[in-house]
Amino acid sequence: MSKKAASSVAAEKPRKKPGPVANPDLVTTSIKLESDLLEWGKNQPGGLSALVRQMLREAKDKAEQ
């Protein structure tokens, strides 16, 4: 391999995996959970974020009745 080819390979940045599609209605926040709840939630359909959003929507709807 020539020096020029080697330097161009070294200059390439590793490609990032594509992330989730941006949704302007979503904001980032953090919550503290016990490790067993975190692992359980991450394994639910849609993942932890979807589970938390669903639970909050249900609680909000119930509170507004």
Q: Between these two residues, 25 and 65, which has the higher pLDDT value?
A: 65
Structural domain contains residue 43: yes
Structural domain contains residue 59: yes
Structural domain contains residue 19: no
- Rounded to an integer, what distance in angstroms lies between the CA atom of residue 19 and that of residue 27? 15
- Segment 2-26, tens digit of pLDDT: 555 555 555 677 777 666 667 788 8
Looking at residue 33, its amino acid is L
pTM for this prediction? 0.61
Mean pLDDT across the chain: 83
Work out whether the CA dihedral 33, 34, 39, 43 comes out positive or negative.
negative
| Total count of domains within the chain | 1
Structural domain contains residue 65: yes
Q: Which of 29, 24, 53, 26 is nearest to 41 (CA)?
A: 53
Structural domain contains residue 62: yes
Q: Where in the sequence is the domain holding 59, given as residue range(s)?
A: 33-65
Does residue 42 register a pLDDT over 90? yes
Structural domain contains residue 57: yes
Structural domain contains residue 10: no
Structural domain contains residue 51: yes
Q: For tokens 């490790």, what's the residue?
A: 35
| Interacting residues of 12 by C-beta distance below 8 A, sequence separation 6+ | none
